[in-house]
Amino acid sequence: MTAYRGKTVVISGGSTGIGAAFAARFAREGARLALVARSQPKLELVAERLRREHGVEVHSHAEDLSLPGAGERVLKAVRALGWQCDVLVNNAGFATYGAFETQPLATLREELALNVGGLVELTHAFLPDLITRRGGVIHVASTAAFQPVPFMAVYGATKAFVLSFSEALWAENRARGVKVLALCPGATDTPFFERVGAEEAALGSRATPESVVEVAMKSFASNRSHVIAGLGNYWTAQANRFVSRELSARLTANLMKPRSTPALPEGSSR
């Protein structure tokens, strides 16, 4: 597999979970990588392993993507290496869980800023490269994008934004040869729910990050606007088309209602 050999791939939230799996997948194909997350030590552990195992260039850049101007700062860091971006993977994000009013407002604002603001900023910063190089962007959304998610209300709303935003950009840019994919996984075996403090919110069996990435890579190559990872997740998402939004919200509330009092999270990368 050499489709990405010598290409530059920028991955946010690249230190763990789905982001790290994307990094390994692209490294295996010979891409050079720019990995972005808040923790430089965690990033460098991933970067060193990929350099050793695949002999590729990997740059790690610590950045809080919830802060204004983060997209431009990441772009400058990539430019300083003499690189232009061929593929952008927007994976960084976190969730809060519990009754809406119990969540600190500062945490909710950070959730919005990272899941929506950081994703939009990075896409805006790198889209000119992607147009010039006929590349593409993969946005990690969620099956939460397809219905309201009581007790994870802000998270679900941010992922609905990501799905809608991705499909709009797909339509805007397809004639220019730029791929845009919204990847919608369900529960995945990553530190995501553990960090949220909501293991009970992980409904159903968990997919591996590697299997989710494989679904994304095939759909990205086919220039899909979105893909739901997992057959069960697909049918669950489709079922919401056949019931009222009120019923969908009530059913989801019954499934997601906390059975314990979760610790309030500080946030995490998916």
Q: Which of 4, 97, 155, 234 is catalytic?
A: 155
For residue 4, give the nearest of 33, 46, 37 by alpha carbon: 33
Dihedral of the alpha carbons of 77, 80, 81, 82, in degrees to the nearest 10: 130
Those residues whose C-beta lies under 8 Å from the C-beta of residue 53, and which sit 6 or more positions away, are: 27
Q: Is 97 a catalytic residue?
A: no
Report the C-alpha gap between 10 and 13 in whole angstroms: 10
Hey, how many other C-beta atoms are within 10 angstroms of the C-beta on 100?
12
Token output for 86: 């061929």
- As given in the structure block, the two tokens for residue 216 are 């994304």
Compute the chain's Rg from CA coordinates.
18
Structure tokens at 147: 């219905």
- DSSP helix/strand/coil, 4: coil
Q: How far apart are CA 8 and CA 133, in angstroms?
A: 10
CA distance 205 to 132: 41
State phi, psi for 211 to the nearest 5 degrees. -70, -35
Catalytic residues: 155
